[in-house]
Amino acid sequence: MIRPVLRMGDPRLWQKSRPVENFGDLKGLLVDMRDTMAHLNGAGLAAPQIGVPLRVVIFGVTANPRYPDIEPVPDTVLINPVLTPLSDEMEEGWEGCLSVPGMRGWVPRYRRLMYSGLDEHGSKFERTVDGFHARVVQHEVDHLDGVLYPMRIRDLTKFGFNEELFPGASLPPED
């Protein structure tokens, strides 16, 4: 079922979400998250964005000729994630968010990291990633700690409405 996505200002987006303990209850949540993300053409979605304070994120970006610069990211369900940066190196890039619709900001993120967590069946997995994949994971996991990307922008002149920042451009998906 497609669920409404909470928007910045809703206090539920500032809460810290709690770990999943019972995987039996997740099925409906994951269906709703996938439906909602697909409906909005998102690159990722975190459970608190639909008002569920659990440490569950989904993300994935398929190659799209409209956005040749965007690296594909495999469709992933990540539960109770742990992020481990592999160096101090940061990289800035544009981000959008379904909870901050119509806007983009220039956000620093770790360039390389390892992430681990559980899949939807409760099996542990880990990946070492960099670049856009690493950015998407950091953005989603921030949602679980009540952090939205505008809070990480260093130069607020690089935060604004899509039409003003990128007139006439068609932009990659928000997450």
Please identify the residue of the shown chain whose CB is closest to the bound Ni ion. Answer: 97
Number of other CB atoms surrounding residue 130 within 10 Å? 16
Nearer to Ni ion, 50 or 175 (CB): 175
Q: Which is nearer to Ni ion, 113 or 140 (CB)?
A: 140
Minimum distance of Ni ion from residue 24's CB (angstroms)? 27
User: Which residues are the active-site residues?
Assistant: 140
Nearer of residues 102 and 122 to Ni ion, judged by Cβ:
102
List CB contacts of 42: < 8 A, sequence separation 6 or more. Answer: 36, 98, 173, 174, 175
Q: Minimal CA–CA distance to 107: which of 159, 61, 146, 174?
A: 159
**What are the residues binding Ni ion (CB under 5 A)?**
97, 175
Let me know: does 61 contact 76? Beta carbons within 8 Å: no
Using CA atoms, how far apart are residues 115 and 13, in angstroms rounded to an integer?
Answer: 23
Q: Which residue has the tokens 């994971």?
A: 137
96/46 Cα distance (integer angstroms)? 14
Least distance between Ni ion and beta carbon 174 (Å): 7
CB of 60 to Ni ion, least distance (A): 14
Helix H or strand E segment including 163: helix 162-165
What minimum distance in Å lies between the beta carbon of 32 and Ni ion? 16
Which residue number, 47 or 113, has a Cβ lying nearer to Ni ion? 47
Cα dihedral 77→78→84→87 (10° resolution)? 20
